[in-house]
Structures are given as C-alpha cells and as structure tokens.
C-alpha cells in the first residue's frame, strides 16, 4: 500500500537567513533516507515546506512496508570454515548461528551454503530473504538521521517540560507524521507524533489545526491557519504584490532581500510607506542600503532611477486598517535615515585629501604594511599604466591617491558596502576633476562576475593598478589561492584584469604589468616576486573565461599555448582559428605542424636561413618556392591585423607540405642537407604559428 507521507516539525522562529537551506535540506534528507530504505515508489515526489515556524516535507508514493530483499552474504573462506576432514570448524559454526538469527531461521546447514570464488579464494556464501521493514521503523531512523544532516548555523540546547535536555536549531513544540490519514508513531526531541499543528500566531481561525490526511496539509494551513507553507509560493506572492504596489515606479528588489523577507512571514501583505523628502538630499545609495539592510524595506525609484520618498514593506499581519503598521514603520525608519544624513553632512566637512595622512594608521596586511603604503604602490602602478596607454597620468595618479580615502569616513564605517561610491560623492563635493571622482568608485569594478567594467579611462587605469597590486602583493607573500580557498578573492581580481584587457582592447603587456607591480614592492623583506606564477595563473583563468564565452577548447589552446603577452587581439585570433579550422586543409596542416614541432624539439641548434642551393629534392624545392610566394600574403595580412587572412593564406601550402613529408628524408646523414631541411621546417613553423599554435587543432 502506498500513500502520501507528511512530516512536520513545528518550531519557534527559525533563523531567516538559513530557512530556505534548512527547508531544502530537510526535504532532501527525508527523501534520500526513505529511498535508501526502499520505501519510495519510482515516481515518488517530495515537496518542501518552510515557514518561520516550521520545517515540513510531503512525499508521494510512500510504502507502508519496504519490499522483502534477497541478501547474499559471504560467510567464510573454505580454508577457514572446514576442518581437516571436511567437517564444519568452530568459526563456521559460530558464524552460522549468527546468520540464522539474522535470517530468522532455526539453523543453517552446510548444504544450504553456496561454494564460490570471491576473487581471492574459494568461500562459502549464504543467500536468504530479509523481510520488509515497517514504515514506522524506517521513518524513525530516517528522521533521526535527517535532523543530524541539517545545515544548522548554531545548535540550541533547551529543556522539555519533563526536564530532559535536547538540541535543535530552535525549540520544537509539535511533531506530525502522517501516512495518508494514519499517524505514524514516532518519538523525536522528546515529542510524540500527532496530526495537530498551529497556524498563524495572530490570524489563524483555529487555536489548533487538525490535519486529517497528508494531502490536505498545505490547503488546510492556508485556509484555517493563514499560513502559506511553501517558500516558493510565498516568495512569488510577495513579488507579485510588490510589483503591483510599485505601480509606475521601479522597485529595487534584490533576490537576497526577497529571500530574507520570505523567511520572516507566514502570511505576507505589502503596505506602502513614506519618508520625509528632505532625506533625498543624501546620496540615494545610502538611503537604499539603510532601508534594505537595517529594515528589510523595498525602495522605489522613478523610471530614470531617482529614489522616491515612498517605500514598500512586507508585513506578517493582514488588517483592514493598516495605518498603525504603516506609521510604526515610518517612525522606525526616520532615525535610520537621520543617521545617514548626519554621517553625510559630517563627512563633507573634511576633504578626502585631508584624510590621506590617516591611512598610515590603517593596516592593509601585516606583511604588506598600511593602506598608505599600499596607496603609494597603486599610484606608482597607475602612473606606469597611464603612460603606456597615453592616458592622463596626473588624473590617474590623483584618482589612485584618493581611491581609499573614503575608508576613513563615517558613512563607509557604518556601511562598508558604500566604499568607492561615497568617495565619488565626496570628491565631487571637494571639486575634484570629474574623471577623478568617477574613478574612485569605478576602480572597484568589476566587483563580481558579469559586473560592468569601468567606463572612464582614468577609472580603468586605477582599477587595473589596484587589482594588479593586490594579485601580485598577496601572492608575493605566499598567500596564493589553494583548492577552493581564496580569502583575498585573487581569482576575481585576475578575471577583472583579463576582462579589462580583452574587452577594452588595451595595448598593454601582461609581463610588463606584473613586473611593474612587483617592482612597487621593492624593499619589502616579506615579498618575493611571483610574476611567473601569476602569469600562469592568469592564463588558467583566461582559458576558463574563454570557455564560458563559447570558444572551442582546441582553439583556446592553440592561442593560449603561445602565452600571448597582449590580450587586446585575442578574440580576433580565436575567431581566425575558428575560421581556419573550418577549412578542408586545416587538419592536414595541423598534423604537419605537430610533426614539425616534434622534430624541432629534438634538435638543439637550427639555422634561421634556408640555402636554396642545398635544396636537392623536387618536393623541398616546391615547398620552398610556395613558402616564398605565400610569405608575402602572410606578412601583409598579419601586419594589417587580419589574422583570418593570415591563416587562410597557409591553406595554399597543404599539398606541398604533404609532398615534402612523403618524399624528403629530413634527418638525412648528410649534415649540410639535414641542417638546411631543419632550417626550412623552422621557417615554415614560424609562418604557421604567427597567429596561433595550429598543431593544437590536430585530431
């Protein structure tokens, strides 16, 4: 017999940031545990429920009893089981007695054993049928196992009414276990199972809600208890109501905030509130962060992105007269916004440039010195990058100098997430150049995968300098990323550097960037130049970045294997390799190139110039002539940056290259001929690999 199973733990308020994970983990653990014990039909489906006061799961297709199971168990090796005369030895007699108890039979005879090789020696095996397990037994074990697997942030110890001490994430007050309409007798955390739960603390129409059957759980909770048990349904209800209340305005609705609010309510209702328009003089990022972080409110902007003085709240109480709820929230948010305004006004009284001396008292890293010392390094690197790009070095140095000054402001002290953003506002107030002010916030970009890159040249220069200083500096004191551990986000910094070089097509040398960054640490006894290791790290990140953008692995290897020092043209090279790979001649040339590479690797010294007079065989003469003719087109296309045409021109060599390897002995015993043929291959190899190492395309 199969029916739907319901298990619910009714608790005190669960930690909201952990609720979604707790609900999913509880559902998964129950499903996996029952599946492992063979209580589930093949089409069984689990539905997770989680509200501030409950964790529950409903599973369809749960059997009353697990099926009987045939078990084949190894008894003992024959050499141990039998005595000298072939009679059962004492170890076998003892083992059979235990097995008989397991199998539920009076005794097991030697005739009932199977004799077979176990891969090492001949052994005895016994096969018996284990009776299926009752659901209450399997469910008890599964439930106990499931609660130990939950990702509980911190266990709470509490006493039951009988004085026993138990532990869970929060005190549990009721336990439901229903199979269809049958209560499964279980005990957990000092509780006995029932079919009774509680609804919403204030809105429930019943003091206690009786669940007649597992299938009615969610509907009864919603109808009688004013509780939407499903996290997914509750979240989408909140989203829909927020969008409806926003009207023509745009709502700032980060998923993390939506998740947290969903975990705080059982019956969500959205209300509109307002704050005094005088607070709109404060940078809107401060007000938005205050509302989202401290109050869990949803800010609204007009279509142009300008903050409105109204906001939305998600309440856990539905009422025909919500004015007291609205006024209460408006009263609570006012002092928060007043603090933000006070911080802003106080910060503006002191220029960013006047705060720079205090950076010397802020520790960056105990092996890398203070933020002031770091500032000097970033300024130096930024100056070098600006000079290389032909950008305004003075603006770059000024922006780099002021980039961390807002760390010393009250606003950033209260809201670290606003670093850079507040620096831009204060720089604008101080009358700094617009590019300098913008660069202070842009130099943190990209902050995460997919984030926008800096727009201004000055911002790009300082962003590169800042990320290079971090990557080289942290690596240089022995703190390179290991496995999945990357506490200084060096992978993110590396990807930021790569994205700027590629997407902005910056004509910068990677090796020079790293060398200049390392040079800025001169005199630091803790620092050891990691440029080579960092370069390989960047190439590894580059491979991953290009794979994410859809390039084929062999094309990526063809380009990256050459360790390109500049990345501004790497996408052109990849596109050219892709076009070349589609040509019918590509595989033959790739294979030939691979063969040439292998030959040249075995030779210590190769001449750079081919002597035409020493070309004896017709095949090598034809190849040399074709190379000479083709080189003009290859050189012209490469000089023009037309990498596709560069590689396409090589296709004309396919037949002559094939004929050369068919007809010519490269490693002839005559030294002069051998040297000249190696020089010919060396020249051909250089022509073939100007854009990419096409040997990587060989199948």
What CATH code is carried by the domain that includes residue 141?
A: 3.30.70
The rounded mean pLDDT for the chain is 94
Domain boundary among 493, 521, 550: 550
What does the pLDDT read at residue 70?
82
- Are residues 200 and 171 located together in one domain of the fold? yes
Query: Does residue 330 carry a pLDDT above 90?
Result: yes
Inside any domain, residue 607: yes
The answer to whether residues 139 and 57 touch, using CB atoms and an 8 Å cutoff, is no
The reply to whether 555 falls in a domain is no
Given 326, 347, 368, the domain boundary residue is 347
Measured between alpha carbons, how far is 81 from 29 in angstroms, rounded to an integer?
41
What does the pLDDT look like over 516-561, one tens digit per residue? 999 999 999 999 999 999 999 999 999 999 999 999 999 999 999 9
Note the residue count of the chain.
Answer: 699
633: pLDDT confidence band, cut at 50, 70 and 90? very high
Tell me, yes or no, whether 578 and 544 share the same domain.
Answer: no
What per-residue string of b and e applies to 15-35 under the rule 16 or more CB within 10 Å gives b? Answer: ebebbbebbebbbebbbbbbb
The domain total for the chain is 5
Cα separation values, 343 from 31, 413, 416, Å: 52, 10, 13
Residue 565 lies in a domain: no
- Say yes or no: 364 and 464 in one domain: yes
Average pLDDT over residues 50-62: 97
Same domain, 100 and 140: no
| Per-residue pLDDT band at 352 (split at 50, 70, 90) | very high
Q: What per-residue confidence (pLDDT) applies to 603?
A: 87
Shared-domain flag, residues 45 and 139: yes
Let me know whether 675 and 583 are in one domain.
Answer: yes
Q: What is the pLDDT of residue 316?
A: 96
Nearest CA-CA partner of 48 in 89, 94, 7, 93: 7
Cβ 146 vs Cβ 30: under 8 Å: yes
The residue from 323, 347, 371 where one domain ends is: 347
Indicate if 505 and 546 belong to the same structural domain: yes
Question: Under DSSP, is residue 165 helix (H, G, I), strand (E, B) or coil?
Answer: strand
For residue 450, is it within any domain?
A: yes
What's the pLDDT band for 72 if we cut at 50, 70, 90? confident
In terms of residue numbers, what domain contains 670?
A: 570-697
pLDDT given for residue 183 in this prediction:
97
* Res 594 pLDDT > 80: yes
CATH code of the domain covering residue 682: 1.10.730.10
**Do residues 165 and 41 share a domain?**
yes
Mean pLDDT along residues 592-613: 89
392-410: average pLDDT:
97
> Could you tell me if 457 and 598 lie in one domain?
no
Q: What is the average pLDDT across 349-353? A: 97
Residue 59: inside a domain: yes
The answer to whether residue 576 is domain-embedded is: yes
Is position 558 within any domain? no
User: Do 235 and 220 share a structural domain?
Assistant: no
Residue 1 pLDDT class (50, 70, 90 cuts):
confident
At 110, the pLDDT band (50, 70, 90 cuts) reads: confident
Percentage above 90 pLDDT, the chain? 87
The answer as to whether 545 is a domain residue is yes
User: What's this model's pTM, rounded to 2 decimal places?
Assistant: 0.80
Q: Are residues 156 and 10 in the same domain?
A: yes
Q: Do residues 120 and 179 both lie within one domain?
A: no
Read off the pLDDT of residues 450-483 as tens digits, 9 standing for 90 and up. 899 999 999 999 999 999 999 999 999 999 999 8
Q: pLDDT digit string (tens) for 125-175?
A: 998 877 888 999 999 999 999 999 999 988 999 999 888 999 999 999 999
């Amino acid at each position: 017999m199969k029916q739907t199973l319901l298990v619910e733990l009714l608790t005190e308020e669960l930690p909201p940031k952990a609720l979604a994970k707790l609900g999913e983990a509880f559902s998964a653990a129950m499903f996996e545990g029952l599946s492992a014990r063979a209580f589930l039909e093949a089409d069984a489906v689990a539905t997770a429920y989680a509200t501030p006061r409950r964790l529950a799961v409903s599973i369809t297709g749960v059997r009353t009893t697990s099926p009987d199971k045939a078990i084949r168990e190894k008894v003992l090796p024959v050499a141990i089981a039998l005595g000298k005369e072939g009679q059962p030895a004492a170890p076998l007699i003892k083992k059979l007695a235990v097995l008989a108890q397991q199998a539920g039979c009076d005794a097991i005879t030697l005739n009932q054993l199977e004799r077979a090789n176990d891969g090492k020696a001949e052994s005895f095996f016994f096969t018996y049928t284990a009776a299926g397990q009752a659901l209450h037994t399997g469910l008890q074990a599964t439930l106990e196992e499931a609660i130990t697997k939950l990702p509980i942030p911190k266990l709470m110890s509490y006493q039951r009414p009988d004085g026993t001490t138990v532990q869970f994430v929060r005190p549990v007050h009721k336990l439901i276990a229903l199979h269809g309409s049958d209560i499964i007798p279980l005990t957990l955390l000092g509780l006995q199972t029932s079919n009774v739960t509680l609804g919403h603390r204030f809105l429930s129409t019943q003091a206690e809600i009786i669940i007649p059957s597992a299938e009615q759980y969610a509907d009864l909770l919603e109808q009688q208890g004013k509780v939407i048990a499903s996290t997914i349904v509750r979240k989408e209800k909140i989203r829909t109501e927020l969008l409806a209340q926003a009207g023509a305005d745009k709502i700032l609705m980060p998923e993390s905030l939506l998740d947290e609010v969903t975990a705080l309510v059982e019956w969500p209702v959205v209300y509109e509130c307002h704050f005094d328009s005088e607070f709109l003089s404060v940078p809107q990022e401060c007000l938005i962060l205050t509302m989202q972080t401290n109050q869990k409110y949803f800010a609204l902007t007009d279509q142009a992105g300008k903050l409105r003085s109204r906001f939305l709240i998600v309440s856990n109480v539905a009422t025909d007269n919500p004015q007291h709820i609205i006024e209460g929230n408006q009263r609570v948010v006012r002092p928060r916004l007043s603090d933000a305004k006070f911080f802003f006004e106080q910060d503006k009284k002191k220029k960013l440039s006047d705060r720079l001396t205090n950076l010397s008292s802020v520790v960056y890293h105990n092996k890398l010195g203070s933020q002031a010392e770091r500032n000097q390094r970033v300024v130096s690197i930024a100056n070098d990058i600006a000079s290389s790009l032909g950008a305004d070095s003075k603006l770059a140095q000024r922006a780099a100098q002021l980039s961390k000054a807002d760390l010393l402001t009250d606003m950033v002290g209260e809201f670290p997430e606003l670093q850079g953003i507040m620096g831009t506002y204060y720089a604008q107030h101080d009358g700094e150049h617009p590019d300098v002010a913008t660069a202070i916030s842009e130099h943190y970009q990209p902050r995460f995968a997919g984030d926008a890159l800096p727009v201004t040249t000055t911002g790009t220069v300082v962003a590169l300098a800042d990320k290079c200083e971090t990557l080289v500096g942290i690596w240089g004191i022995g703190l390179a990323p290991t496995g999945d551990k990357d506490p200084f986000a060096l992978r993110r910094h590396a990807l930021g550097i790569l994205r700027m070089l590629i997407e902005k097509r910056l004509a910068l040398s990677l090796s020079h960037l790293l060398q200049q960054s390392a040079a800025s640490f001169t005199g630091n006894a803790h620092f050891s130049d990691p440029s080579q290791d960092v370069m390989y790290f960047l190439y590894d990140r580059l491979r991953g970045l290009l794979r994410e953008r859809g390039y084929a692995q062999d094309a990526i290897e063809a380009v990256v294997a050459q360790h390109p020092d500049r990345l501004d043209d790497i996408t052109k090279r990849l596109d050219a390799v892709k076009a070349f790979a589609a040509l019918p001649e590509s595989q033959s040339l790739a294979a030939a190139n691979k063969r040439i590479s292998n030959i040249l690797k075995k030779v210590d010294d190769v001449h750079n110039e081919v002597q035409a007079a020493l070309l004896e065989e017709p095949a090598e003469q034809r190849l040399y002539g074709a190379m000479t003719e083709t080189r003009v087109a290859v050189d012209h296309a490469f000089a023009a940056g037309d990498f596709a045409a560069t590689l396409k021109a090589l296709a004309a060599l396919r037949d002559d290259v094939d004929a050369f390897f068919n007809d010519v002995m490269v490693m002839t015993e005559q030294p002069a001929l051998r040297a000249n043929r190696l020089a010919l291959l060396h020249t051909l190899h250089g022509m073939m690999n100007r854009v990419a190492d096409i040997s990587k395309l060989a199948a």
